[in-house]
Amino acid sequence: MSTTEELIEEYKKKRAKIEQMASPEQIEKRHKGGQWTARERIDYFFDKGTFTEIGLFVKHRTVHFGMAGREVPAEGVVTGYGLVNGRPVVAFAEDYMAMAGTFGEYHGLKEIRAINFAKEMGWPVIGMNDSGGARLQEGMDTLEIYGVLFRTQIQASGIVPQIALLMGPCLGGQAYHPIMQDFLIQCRDTGFMGIAGPAFVKTQLGQEISLEELSGWKAHAVKSGQTHIVVKDDKEALDKTKEMLSFFPSNNREMPPTIECKDDPERTSPELNNIIPDRPTQPYDMFKVINAIVDDGYFFETLKEHSRSVITGFARFNGRPVGIWANQPMWRAGIIDCDAADKGARFVRFCDLFNIPVVTLGDCPGYMIGPEEDWKGILRHGAKMLFAWADASIPLISIIVRKSYAGAHYGMLDKGIGADLVFAWPTARVTIVGAETAASVIFAREIRDAENPEEMRNQRIKEYSDIYENPYCGAERGYIDEIIMPSDTRKVINRALDILQDKNKDNKAFNARPWRKYSNINL
C-alpha cells in the first residue's frame, strides 16, 4: 500500500502533468502568433488567486482511431469559477494545445457542467472559444453532446449573462455555441467563426475562399452582425469582457450594479442647444449627444461596425447602468432597415432580461422602404422592435431629438408602444410622414392644376409642416410628456430614472399581465 506521502506526491505529479499543457517551445510559438494559452487566459481574467478549477482530471472514453490510451489534458478545456473585479463568474477556456481543443463528449460535458453551475449559482458565464472543431474520432458521442450543450445554454439564457470570446477558430456546428450567447467578442487576427471552413466550402460548393474572408472579423462584425466587439488580441478581449460585465447584474433576479458617480446628475449641456442643424436633412453626430449626457462621457458601444445607421451600447446615469438605443444621422440618415431592427430588438430584449433601463435618442425618417427591403422582410424585421418594446417591463425613456416619422415613431419608442416617459426637444418633428411626402399625396391634384405648381407645392409643404411637423401637437394630446431644452436632457433622464427605479418592484407590473409562455416574435 502507498503511504499518504506517496499518494500526495502522485497527485502532485498528475496535476502538474495536466497543467503543463505543452512544451516551452510550443508555448513560445503560440505567443509569437499573438495568442495566450488557455490557462494564461484564465489567470489573467480572474482576480489573482481566486480561480477554482472544476474537472481537471476528466478523461474521454474513446478507444477507436488511435484514441485508446491517448491523453488529452483536462479534455481540452479548462473550466471553473472565481472572482472578476470582486464578483463571482464562471468560465471555460478551450485549450488548442490539447488535441487542438477539439470538442468531444467529455469536453462538452465539462462545458455543460460549467453552464449549469453558473445558472444554479446565479453567476455570469464566459466562454473562451479556441477549438479545431468536432472530435471526429468519437462519432455519435460528439454529435449528440452538441445538442445537450446547446439546450443547456438556451435554458440558461435570460437567467445569467453569457459572453463568448472568439480567440481562435470555431467552425462547424460548434459555432452555434458562441452565437447563442448574449454577446460575442472576436480577436481581429486570430478569431474565426463559420458554419463550415474553406475546405468544406470548396468540397461542397466548388468555391475558393480564404478563412479570413469567410470567417474573419469583417465577415461577422460588419456583414453578418454576429460579432459585437472586435479586439486586437487576447488581453483586450478579456479587458473588454470585464468592462462589459461591470454593467450587468449577476443574474436576472438582481438589479445592475450602481457605482459611485462624481458627475453631477443635474449637470446641463449647453452645447446641445446648438447641435441640431437648421436644415432637417443636414446630418450631425449623435455620439456627441450621447457623450454630452452620460456619466463622464463614457459609452460602451456594441455592434459598432454593423448597421451603423443605429447605435446600441451601455452607459451610466448617476452611476446606474443604462442601455442606449439611438439613430445616427451621419449614416444613411439614421434609417431603420432589416439589420438595424434586428440589432435594436435583440439589444432591448437583453436589457429587459437583466433589468437594465433603456433610453432612446430618436432622429429617424422611418423604416427603409423599397423593393429590396420589402423582399428582405422589413415588416417582419421591423416588427421585432415592436415586440421588444411591448414585451419590456424595464424603465423605458424616450427622447425625441429631431425626426420621428411613421413606423420609426414606434420603433424608436413612443408612448403607445410602451414608453414610461416621452420627452422632445423643440427641434423635434413628430408626425405620420414628412411634409414633402404628405403634400405629394394630399395636395397632388391641387398642385398639378395650379397656375404655378412649384409655388403651390412649397406653400402646401410649409402649411403642413407648420401644423404638424413639431412636438407641440403630440404634447397637446399627451403623447409627449414634456418639451425640454436640449441642454437639460441629462437632468431630465436622471430624474426619470429616479422615479422609475421601483417600476417593477416585486414584479407586480409583470405579474399583472395575462399568463403566457412568451410572445410569438417574428423571427
Give me the pLDDT at residue 509, please.
Answer: 57
Give me the pLDDT at residue 511, please.
Answer: 57
DSSP string, 345-404: HHHHHHHHHTT--EEEEEEE--B--SHHHHHHTHHHHHHHHHHHHHH--S-EEEEEEEEE
CB 125 within 8 A of CB 174: no
The catalytic residue among 76, 127, 133, 172 is 172
CB 125 within 8 A of CB 118: yes
DSSP string, 117-154: HHHHHT--EEEEE----B-GGGTHHHHHHHHHHHHHHH
Give me the pLDDT at residue 447, please.
Answer: 74
What is the chain's length?
523
Stated pTM of the model: 0.93
Q: How far is CA 332 from the centre of its chain?
A: 22
- DSSP β-ladder status, 396-405 and 358-364: parallel
CB 474 within 8 A of CB 480: yes
Buried b (16+ CB within 10 A) or exposed e, 131-164: bbbbbebbeebbeebbeebeebbeebbbbbbbbb
Ranges under pLDDT 70 in the chain: 506-512
Residue 121 is which amino acid? M
The catalytic residue among 114, 345, 383, 408 is 408
SS3 string, 413-478, reads CCCCCCCCEEEECCCCEEECCCHHHHHHHHCHHHHHHCCCHHHHHHHHHHHHHHHHCECHHHHHHC
Give me the pLDDT at residue 507, please.
Answer: 61
HSE-up of 515 (CA within 13 Å, CB side)?
0
Active-site residue, 173 included: yes
Q: Which helix (H) or strand (E) holds 300?
A: strand 299-302
Angle at 145 between CA 140 and CA 149, to 5 degrees: 160
Residue ranges of domains in the chain, CATH in brackets: 4-245 (3.90.226.10), 270-432+470-508 (3.90.226.10), 435-468 (no CATH)
- Set of cell numbers at residue 515: 399568463
Give me the pLDDT at residue 23, please.
Answer: 80
366/404 Cα distance (integer angstroms): 7
Active-site residue, 407 included: yes
Tell me which residue has cell 456546428.
Answer: 173
Q: What is the pLDDT of residues 426-468, one digit of tens each?
A: 999 998 877 777 777 777 777 777 778 787 787 777 777 777 7
CB 30 within 8 A of CB 24: no
| CA proximity to 81, closest of 118, 44, 32, 29 | 118
DSSP SS3 for 317: strand
The catalytic residue among 139, 173, 225, 319 is 173
Residue 209 CB burial class (10 angstroms; 0-12, 13-18, ≥19): middle
Positive or negative CA dihedral for 48, 51, 57, 63?
A: negative
The catalytic residue among 407, 418, 434, 474 is 407
481/359 Cα distance (integer angstroms): 15
